[in-house]
Amino acid sequence: MHFINTLRAFAVVAACAFAAPAFAQAQGQAPAPTPLAIDKLTPAQIALGKEVVMLSGIYRTFNAFVPAAMQQIYNTVTPTRPEIRKDLEDTLKALLPEYEKRTEEMVEHTAKLFAAALPEAELKATVAFFKSDAGKKYVEMQPRVVDQMVVAVDDWNRKLTGEIMDRARTEMKKKGKDM
């Protein structure tokens, strides 16, 4: 269940991160964000960025993707090919260590994004925070809060969508249109 909540939390965060700028742009409020310049960073900046990724616990998000991808493959293939379930399961288990190493690619990329987004002094301050007792406590409690946030966001989204649909029907009815 925690794995599913982690993926759902990541999806919520990603959706918000990607949807908000697009919505703002569609409303004529702001242009899409400029990609961060990650190609001219010093090794020191990248190392600080990686410390932020690791100390903040962000890396945990990436760890969930390989098993999820493998589970998706298994769930897609086995309903139509039940005779290969055991062999596919064995194959995926054998491939797991190889592909788990690939999460380092996203750790490195994210480290570069942090390094490009924050000046070195602020990266150092962020690292110091995550090394502090308060920062460690933040990282420790974060999964619990995110899990509960995902549940709350799901509930809120369902209610909000229902309310908007009801209101849109009412307004369309005033215009003589049924939905």
Transcribe 45-69 into DSSP letters: HHHHHHHHHHHHTTHHHHHTHHHHH
Average pLDDT over residues 1-8: 46
DSSP codes, 100-156: HTTHHHHHHHHHHHHHHHS-HHHHHHHHHHHHSHHHHHHHHHHHHHHHHHHHHHHHH
Question: What does the alpha-carbon distance between residue 65 and residue 73 come to, in Å, rounded to a whole number?
Answer: 12
The pLDDT score that the predictor gives to residue 90 is 96
Average pLDDT over residues 28-51: 86
User: Is the domain of 71 the same as that of 122?
Assistant: yes
Average pLDDT over residues 82-88: 96
In a domain, 15, yes or no: no
**129 neighbors 135 (Cβ within 8 angstroms):** yes
The pLDDT score that the predictor gives to residue 23 is 44
Number of other residues whose CB lies within 10 A of the CB of residue 135: 16
In a domain, 9, yes or no: no
pLDDT at 119 over 60: yes
User: Which tops the pLDDT comparison, 15 or 147?
Assistant: 147
The whole-chain average pLDDT of the chain stands at 86
- Domain residues for the domain of 176 are 133-179
**149 neighbors 12 (Cβ within 8 angstroms):** yes
Name the nearest CA neighbour of 66 among 39, 89, 100, 38: 100
User: Which tops the pLDDT comparison, 15 or 172?
Assistant: 172
User: Is the domain of 57 the same as that of 106?
Assistant: yes
User: Is the domain of 57 the same as that of 96?
Assistant: yes
The pLDDT score that the predictor gives to residue 27 is 52
The pLDDT score that the predictor gives to residue 39 is 84
User: Is the domain of 124 the same as that of 149?
Assistant: no
Least confident of 10-14, 35-39, 90-94, 157-161: 10-14
Number of folded domains in the chain?
Answer: 2
Name the nearest CA neighbour of 52 among 140, 122, 142: 122
